[in-house]
Chain A
Amino acid sequence: MTLLDPTGPTTDDALGSLSTQPTAPEEQVAPKGRGLLGTLRLGWRRLTSMRTALQLLFLLSLAAVPGGLLPQRGQEAARVQAYRTTHKTLGPFFDRLSLFDVFKAPWFAAIYVLLFVSLVGCLAPRIKLHAKALRKPPPKTPARLSRLPSGSTTWTAAGNPESVLAAAKPLLSGWRVAARTDARGDSLSAERGYARETGNLLFHVSLVLLLIGVAIGSLYGYEGDRVLADGSGFINTHLQYDEYRPGGLVTDGSLDTWTIQLNKFVATYRADGSPADYVAHTTFTPAGGKQRAVDVKVNHPLMAGSGTKVYLLNHGYAPVFALTDAAGKSTSSPPVICAPIESRNLLSRCELSFGGLPEISGRPSDLAFDIDFAPTGQLTNSLDLISTSPEVKLPTFQVAPYVGSLGHPVNVESLDYSGLQQLPKLTGAILPDSTKPLVTSLRNLPGGYRLSVVGIRQWASFQVKRDPAKKLVLLAAIGIVSGLVLSLRVRRRRLWIRAVVAPARPGSDSPRSVVEVGGLARSDQEAFRAETKTLVGALRGATGSIDPTDAPAESEGTST
């Protein structure tokens, strides 16, 4: 049914986007053009159809499933490695399919890129359509209101059509109203709820903005990790990071050269050993600015200016050792960063080496130590070291000394044991607040050296992050939520009221009109029926006496 032709099925065009039926499949209408152009047009139509959007959404969620079940290299590289070693055939197979790197995989990107292209292709015409609809008045009154899906209500009212419609106007406050006169009589067209489509468009446009923000952030932002022991600091340059992950378009010289120095990391624990709070007391010096003291905590990063933030990540212990030679000369090591191998009670492991020591009998005699440290140590029956508390109550070291040639280690972090020979392992505890040397046997290291613990400091790891598009992403997120709420809650309605002169009642001169009210609802049919009933009741009351013989007749409408 078109507006002017009452016969035939309701098409999308006539009643426009107000149809309560889902959009007809575009595939049924072949676009013009043959050959390549026609194929492209058809392809574009298909890509921007709801059906394709549905399929792509499912594909996207399906593609993300392995990312949620298998360990991902971006967060847990160690677990990926462990998975590969335990699953000797599946592991490398999954790896080749990028299942350990799902969200960086090209096939994942292809899905969401296609989805966004489909989205943008669908959005553009819809924005144009909505912009037009916002400027146009509500559509013309259909010829046969009774043929609307929810039917219409008819009754005879007192008064001529002008007065009836004039009485209707105040009832339609909040609606956009247009008065028209056509071949069938005077009528009012009313429409409201444009915000529904506005919200819908806002939501989808915000999704696109979100993607743009994510892209900008990853191209122009950077991330860096650095471990600092109490008393040490670093400058924000790419050279001073333990791990530096710049965005694709970040140049090395573009970082703000601020400095941060860790004065002291403090962890407070409760009686049962669970952590209460972590604080890193630092001194921060902005590039060319004044120093200031800043506390960095887990939920409170340091604002380093221009959108860069410094986060507190992990912590551990960093004992300081000293090697004393037979003559009594001591060499101190820097604080040795010990990595926790057990997270609750911070049993940690570290390596220490002293190179350049004089040879003994012509053989290289550098010393290296493989150290296990427990803040509150205890030996098991099998003489393994365990820690029973994360606080330093009984610092215990288990040291495996090595002597030989240090060789050329592959990286700074681990020793090359190929040229070293292990000496018997030793365990020693240090009483708190003392720097007593470890058990005496460690005195008799080759060359007459003695290893002792000078102090126990802590280290904290920091992650520096800059994301220039964060505000855009936040804005997009706000747009997403507000657009969503509008598009789901606002009710779009169209209403038509037609008043036609009716023959006067015999024996009376007062004018009468036949009034017909009908409407269309995009959503919430039940509520719309109730709304219309209320409106009809109000209009009948406003148009003078309600004659019980003039009860409104309701037509069933054409809804299935």
Chain B
Amino acid sequence: MIDIGLARISNDLLVVAVLAYSLAMLGYGAEFAFSARPKKPRLVAHAAASLDDLVTAAATAPAAKHRAASSVSGSPRGEKLGRYAVGLTMFGWLAHIGCVVTRGLAAHRTPWGNMYEFSIMVTLAAVTVFLGSLIRHKLRYLGTFVMLPVVVTLGIAGTLLYSKAEPLQPALQSYWLKIHVTAAITAWGVFMVGAVQTVLYLLQERRERRLVLAEATAATVHAAEGSTLVLTTGASGGRLEGMLSRLPDADALDAAAYKTIAFGFPIWTFAIICGSIWAEAAWGRYWGWDPKETWSFITWVVYAGYLHARATAGWRGRKASFIAMVAFACLTIDYYVVNIVVTGLHSYAGL
């Protein structure tokens, strides 16, 4: 029998979690706003020997400001807000866990049998990855950007995808459910964080390129005057300048994104293989090109392409990051579109 009381508590806890995450998102954003910008490095060029020297100097200027700490240099107020935000995130995380547990207790089964429950689990995985990485690495700058898709996903889940707590159909009553779906959900959450980092990298990389261009142009102008000049790394003038100047540099973001995706890829591979083993036990074939299987395969191949791109000359950096975004798009299609629009053997995992 479904425990209605527990099911209601689960719904309430979801609302609590969403509220906490939203407030945390604001908190991280505020920490950002109050933090100081990193000091602008200055290059001093004496009686410019040649235009080439200046251009080279300008081109290597961004390299000089690297080895920056990957945390935002904080003002005390910003630091406090940041810590409140982390506290709110943890509170939301506990409420989130409570939501999952009460849902499972209400339905007398592990709570991942339909899209509503999946969305809740995946966002929980993403927040867990984020909180976990905060222990070892100073990634608080990621806070706003991870909370945003989490809140959006939970919002969609709670409004459009909501379904009442129910028992599972016979086809889903297998211990493989726990293994396969856990792995898929974890990988999804990790990839979500990786996608956030990739977007930030692309924005930062574009900004740095513009900075280099601006400096080279400035050097051209000043060189004509032939005097001792001081080049400062000025603003690139973009709309996101304020936010991006407080983030770590592009290379650091790229390395972080790669680490995250490289962590998630084996988990995703394992999820697909587990699914195949379960499919073999339930349906008699380990692979049938069911739409969900097909799109999981496509996602896997594109992420494999990303990993290959990072080891290919000329493809590292921006091009590889575009591939990572395409891969995440495929993952999103795999989850939303396949469950709702396309039907196949996996369709009971839908609404």
As a 0/1 sequence over residues 330 to 348 of chain B, the CB contacts with chain A under 8 angstroms (1 = contact) are: 1000000010001011000
Q: Are A75 and B290 in contact (CB under 8 A)?
A: yes
As a 0/1 sequence over residues 285 to 318 of chain B, the CB contacts with chain A under 8 angstroms (1 = contact) are: 1111111001101100110110011111111100
As a 0/1 sequence over residues 486 to 505 of chain A, the CB contacts with chain B under 8 angstroms (1 = contact) are: 00100000000000000000
Q: How far apart sit A511 and B300, CA to CA, in the bound complex (Å)?
A: 59
Q: Is B41 an interface residue (CB 8 A)?
A: no
In terms of DSSP, what is the predominant structure of the interface of chain B?
A: helix
B302 to chain A, nearest CB (A): 5
Given contacts A22-B312, A560-B63, contact A465 B285 (CB under 8 A): yes
Q: Are B288 and A311 in contact (CB under 8 A)?
A: no
Binds B, one of A130-138, A189-197, A275-283, A541-549: A275-283
Task: Report chain B residues within 8 Å CB of A173.
Answer: none
Q: Are B170 and A75 in contact (CB under 8 A)?
A: no
Binds A, one of B73-81, B90-98, B261-269: B261-269
Task: Report chain B residues within 8 Å CB of A463.
Answer: 284
Q: Is A90 an interface residue (CB 8 A)?
A: no
- 12 residue pairs bridging A and B, Cβ less than 8 Å apart: A22-B310, A57-B301, A57-B308, A58-B305, A64-B298, A75-B344, A274-B166, A298-B173, A311-B282, A481-B269, A481-B270, A484-B266
As a 0/1 sequence over residues 255 to 275 of chain B, the CB contacts with chain A under 8 angstroms (1 = contact) are: 100010011011001100100
Q: How far apart sit A524 and B137, CA to CA, in the bound complex (Å)?
A: 14
Q: Which residue of B lies closest to A65 (CB)?
A: B298
Q: How far apart sit A65 and B276, CA to CA, in the bound complex (Å)?
A: 20
Q: Are B289 and A74 in contact (CB under 8 A)?
A: yes
Q: How far apart sit A276 and B287, CA to CA, in the bound complex (Å)?
A: 26
Q: Are B288 and A74 in contact (CB under 8 A)?
A: yes
Give the number of residues in B that approach A within 8 Å (Cβ atoms).
54
Task: Report chain B residues within 8 Å CB of A485.
Answer: 266
Q: How far apart sit A24 and B288, CA to CA, in the bound complex (Å)?
A: 39
Q: Are B289 and A67 in contact (CB under 8 A)?
A: yes
Q: Are B265 and A488 in contact (CB under 8 A)?
A: yes
Task: Report chain B residues within 8 Å CB of A300.
Answer: 281
Please give the residue numbers on chain B whose beta carbons come within 8 Å of chain A beta carbons, in ascending order. 63, 166-167, 169-171, 173-174, 176, 255, 259, 262-263, 265-266, 269-270, 273, 276-277, 280-291, 294-295, 297-298, 301-302, 304-305, 308-316, 330, 338, 342, 344-345
Task: Report chain A residues within 8 Å CB of B170.
Answer: 275-278, 297-299
Q: Which residue of B lies closest to A21 (CB)?
A: B313
Q: How far apart sit A64 and B300, CA to CA, in the bound complex (Å)?
A: 12
Q: How far apart sit A270 and B295, CA to CA, in the bound complex (Å)?
A: 34
Q: Are A50 and B289 in contact (CB under 8 A)?
A: no
Task: Name the interface residues of A43-100: CB closer than 8 Å to any CB of B.
Answer: 50-51, 53-54, 57-58, 60-61, 64-65, 67-69, 72, 74-76
Q: Which residue of B lies closest to A473 (CB)?
A: B286
Q: How far apart sit A214 and B280, CA to CA, in the bound complex (Å)?
A: 13
Q: Which residue of A lies closest to B342 (CB)?
A: A69
How many A residues are at the interface, by size bracket?
35 or more
Closest 6 CB pairs of A and B: A68-B294, A465-B284, A311-B284, A61-B301, A50-B312, A57-B305
Q: Are B294 and A64 in contact (CB under 8 A)?
A: yes
Task: Report chain B residues within 8 Å CB of A309.
Answer: 284
Q: Which residue of B lies closest to A66 (CB)?
A: B294
Task: Report chain B residues within 8 Å CB of A21.
Answer: 313
Q: Are B308 and A53 in contact (CB under 8 A)?
A: yes
A354 to chain B, nearest CB (A): 37
Q: Are A103 and B289 in contact (CB under 8 A)?
A: yes
Q: Which residue of B lies closest to A207 (CB)?
A: B304
Residue from A67, A68, A74, A274 having most chain B Cβ neighbours under 10 A: A68
Q: Is A509 an interface residue (CB 8 A)?
A: no
Q: How far apart sit A270 and B168, CA to CA, in the bound complex (Å)?
A: 11
Q: Are B330 and A61 in contact (CB under 8 A)?
A: yes
Q: How far apart sit A24 and B115, CA to CA, in the bound complex (Å)?
A: 45
Q: Are A270 and B167 in contact (CB under 8 A)?
A: yes
Task: Report chain B residues within 8 Å CB of A465.
Answer: 284-285
Residue from B266, B283, B330, B338 having most chain A Cβ neighbours under 10 A: B266
B314 to chain A, nearest CB (A): 7
Task: Report chain A residues within 8 Å CB of B345.
Answer: 75
Q: Is A23 an interface residue (CB 8 A)?
A: yes
Task: Report chain A residues within 8 Å CB of B315.
Answer: 22, 51, 54
Q: How far apart sit A75 and B311, CA to CA, in the bound complex (Å)?
A: 38
Task: Report chain A residues within 8 Å CB of B273.
Answer: 477, 480-481
Q: Which residue of B lies closest to A74 (CB)?
A: B289
Q: Is A328 an interface residue (CB 8 A)?
A: no
Q: Is A470 an interface residue (CB 8 A)?
A: yes
Q: Are B255 and A299 in contact (CB under 8 A)?
A: no
Task: Report chain B residues within 8 Å CB of A297.
Answer: 170
B161 to chain A, nearest CB (A): 19
Q: How far apart sit A288 and B287, CA to CA, in the bound complex (Å)?
A: 33
Q: Are A526 and B255 in contact (CB under 8 A)?
A: yes
Given contacts A298-B171, A299-B281, contact A68 B295 (CB under 8 A): yes
A369 to chain B, nearest CB (A): 33
Q: How far apart sit A477 and B270, CA to CA, in the bound complex (Å)?
A: 9
Q: How far apart sit A301 and B174, CA to CA, in the bound complex (Å)?
A: 13
